[in-house]
Amino acid sequence: MRTAPSRAARHAARFLAREREAERMRAVFPRALNEECGVFGIIGGADDAATKVALGLHALQHRGQEACGITTYDGERFFSDKKLGLVSGAFTEAATLDALKGNAGIGHTRYSTAGGSDLRNVQPLYADLDRGGLAVAHNGNLTNARTLRADLIRKGSIFHTTSDSELFVQLAALSRGLSMVDKVTDSLSAVEGAYALCVLTQDALLGVRDPQGIRPLVLGKLGNAAVLASESCAFDLIGAEFVRDVRPGEMVICRPDGSVESRQIFADRKARPCIFELIYFARPNSFVDGESVYELRKRLGRQLAEEAPASADLVSPIPDSGVPAAIGFAQRSGLAYEMALIRSHYSGRTFIEPSQQIREAGVARKHSANIGVVRGKRVVLIDDSLVRGTTSRKITTMLREAGAREVHFRIACPPIVYPDFYGIDTPSQDELMASSHSVDEMCGMIGADSLGFLSLDGLYTALGKGPRRSEEPAFTDHCFTGDYPTALADQERKDTRAKIEQLSLLRESS
C-alpha cells in the first residue's frame, strides 16, 4: 500500500519542478547583462602600467571569470586588448603586455548572465570624443539603463554593446563640458543605480563611486603612482600602499605626477555600501570601508552560533567562502572545526556561472566529501548564503552518502528574499528559495536535518552597527528587506508592461 508523500516531499517535488521550468525559461528568455566585476587603474611611475594592471586584475579574479581587458595610454596613443577567459590565460605573455604601452592604464575583469558573454561587451570600453580618448571600466549595474538607452537611441545614438556601462561613454559624448572631467561628471547626473568607475583620459585617471557607495572603490599609492581598485587585496600583489576608500559620490582625479584631486559630485546622500560585499564577494584579506573582511565574517559566525546553535560533533565550512564564519561558529559553540568538504580550486564559483545546467554539474566537480571526517558524525555546515538551494541539496546528499549521521545547515546571513538590481547576479524573485518558502520547507527541500539563518539584527550587530534602524539603515540590504536605496526605473517599467499584458489577457478571455 502506497503512503501519501510527506509535506516536505511535496515541497521538494514542487521545488524541483520550478527549477526545471526556470531553466527552460532562462534558455528561451535570457536575461540582460547584470554584472559584478573588478576594476583596477594606475597612473604615473614607470612605463609598465599594463603589467601592474594585469597583476591587479589577477588579485580581483574572484569578482569575475568570464572575460578581462586592459587599456593603456603612453602620452600619445591608447592601446587596448580584451579577451574572454581568465587573466592568467589572457595577460601572462611578455609580448602581450609589451604591446600595451604607457605608464597609465585601467583594467576590468567580469562575468555576465546568460546572453552577455560576447567579446563586444568586454571592458574597458573606449571611444574618441571631441576632447580626446576615453576608456571606461565599470563595476555595478544601472537601474535606469534600459530607459536611458531607449531615449538615447530615439535621439540618434548608436550603441555598440549590450552593456549598461556604455551609457557612461554615450552620455559623456553628448556633454558640452569643456574638459573630459566635466563630460564624465555630466554623465553621472543622468544615471541611477550602482557604479564604481575607473576612467582613463589623456591626462588623468578618474575614480568615481556612486552616491550611496553601493559598489566599493579604494585609492592606493605605489611610489609616485596613484592606484585605484575594487578591493585593497589588489594593492598587496603589486606592493602598493592603501590610502583610503573613495567616498560615496566622490570623484578622485589622479594625475601622472602623482597628485590626487578630490571632487564631491554628490553631496548629502546617506552612504549605504552593499552588505553582500562583506558577506560574499570581497576576498577575506581585503578591507572594505575600513573593515577587515576576514574579521567581519568571523563575527558573523560567532553571532550565528548564538542565534542558531546545533547539537553536533563538528563544524565545517562550505569552502572557501564559508571558512571565516565557520571558524567563528566553532569558537563560540566549542565544537571541533574540521573540513567535511574538500574543494577543487580549478572549478570556479557556481554562484556566478550563467547557466543552471553548469551550476548543477559544477557542484560535483567543486566539492567532494572528506569521508574520514564525516563518517558517523553529526555535521554542521556553515555557508555564507543560500540562494536557489541547488548546491546545498547536492552537498547534503554527498555527505549522507559519505556516511554522515546528521547534516545541519547554518547560513551566516538572513534569508535572501528579494532580487538585486545593482550588479550582483541573484536570480529573479521566483527563483529565490526563501521568497516563497518557510525555513522548515527549505530544510526539507535541501534534505538537511535542520536549517538556521542569521537574523537581520544579528547581521547588523556582528558588523558593528547594532540593530538595524529602518529609517536609516547602514547598508544596502534590499536582498533581505526589499528596501532599495535608489529608484528602479527599468524594473517599474517592466512591472507596468507586465500588468498591461495581464489586463489584456483578462479582457481577451472575457
Domains parsed from the chain with CATH numbers? 38-271 (3.60.20.10), 294-481 (3.40.50.2020)
Predicted local distance difference test score (pLDDT) of residue 144 = 94
Residue 22: pLDDT band by 50, 70, 90 thresholds?
A: very low
Mean pLDDT of 57-68: 94
Instruction: Give the percent of the chain with pLDDT over 90.
Output: 72
pLDDT tens for 341-370 read 998 766 544 444 455 554 444 455 578 999
Nearest to 366 by CA among 330, 401, 321, 301: 321
Q: Which residues of 66-82 are buried (b: 16+ CB within 10 A; e: fewer)?
A: bbbbbbbbeeeebbbbb
Q: Which amino acid is at 279?
A: I
pLDDT of 229 > 50? The answer is yes
Predicted local distance difference test score (pLDDT) of residue 497 = 56
What CA–CA distance (Å, rounded) separates 76 from 173?
21
pLDDT greater at residue 29 or residue 113 = 113
Mean pLDDT of 384-410: 94
The DSSP 8-state label assigned to residue 322 in this structure reads: T
What CA–CA distance (Å, rounded) separates 408 from 236?
37
| Lookup: cell for 358 | 553548469
What CA–CA distance (Å, rounded) separates 413 from 309?
15
421 close to 404: Cβ distance less than 8 angstroms: no
pLDDT greater at residue 65 or residue 202 = 202
Predicted local distance difference test score (pLDDT) of residue 116 = 60
Predicted local distance difference test score (pLDDT) of residue 492 = 72
Q: Is 134 exposed, middle or buried, given 0-12, 13-18 or 19+ CB atoms closer than 10 A?
A: buried
407 close to 379: Cβ distance less than 8 angstroms: yes
pLDDT of 509 > 80? The answer is no
CB neighbour list of residue 14: distance below 8 Å, 6 or more residues apart: none
176 close to 196: Cβ distance less than 8 angstroms: no
pLDDT of 269 > 60? The answer is yes
What CA–CA distance (Å, rounded) separates 409 from 452?
6
Q: What is the maximum alpha-carbon separation in the chain?
A: 83
pLDDT tens for 301-316 read 999 999 999 999 999 9
The DSSP 8-state label assigned to residue 224 in this structure reads: T
pLDDT of 292 > 50? The answer is yes
Residue 9: pLDDT band by 50, 70, 90 thresholds?
A: low
User: What's the pTM?
Assistant: 0.84
Q: Please report how the helices 439-446 and 7-28 are oriented relative to each other, as an axis angle in degrees rounded to 10.
A: 80
Predicted local distance difference test score (pLDDT) of residue 274 = 93
Indicate the SS3 state at residue 245: strand
Query: Which of 116-125, 209-218, 428-437, 496-505 has the lowest average pLDDT?
Result: 496-505
Specify which residues 410 forms β-bridges with: 382, 452
Catalytic positions, written as ranges:
37
Phi, psi at residue 217, to the nearest 5°?
-155, 130
Nearest to 238 by CA among 47, 57, 44, 39: 57
Specify which residues 427 forms β-bridges with: none
**How many other CB atoms sit within 10 Å of the CB of residue 164?**
26
Predicted local distance difference test score (pLDDT) of residue 423 = 83
Residue 71: pLDDT band by 50, 70, 90 thresholds?
A: very high
Predicted local distance difference test score (pLDDT) of residue 268 = 72
pLDDT greater at residue 286 or residue 268 = 286
Q: Which amino acid is at 177?
A: G
Mean pLDDT of 149-178: 94
CA gyration radius, the chain? 23
| Lookup: cell for 218 | 579604494
Residue 430: pLDDT band by 50, 70, 90 thresholds?
A: confident
pLDDT tens for 474-486 read 999 999 999 999 8
Mean pLDDT of 167-173: 97
Predicted local distance difference test score (pLDDT) of residue 4 = 58
pLDDT greater at residue 431 or residue 397 = 397
Degrees (nearest 5) of the Cα angle 285, 288, 292? 45
pLDDT of 499 > 80? The answer is no
Predicted local distance difference test score (pLDDT) of residue 345 = 66
pLDDT of 35 > 60? The answer is no
Give the side-chain half-sphere CA count within 13 A for 177. Answer: 19
pLDDT of 496 > 70? The answer is no
Mean pLDDT of 92-112: 93
Specify which residues 142 forms β-bridges with: 193
Predicted local distance difference test score (pLDDT) of residue 112 = 65
Residue 118: pLDDT band by 50, 70, 90 thresholds?
A: confident
**What value does the mean pLDDT of the chain take?**
87
Predicted local distance difference test score (pLDDT) of residue 31 = 33
pLDDT of 27 > 60? The answer is no
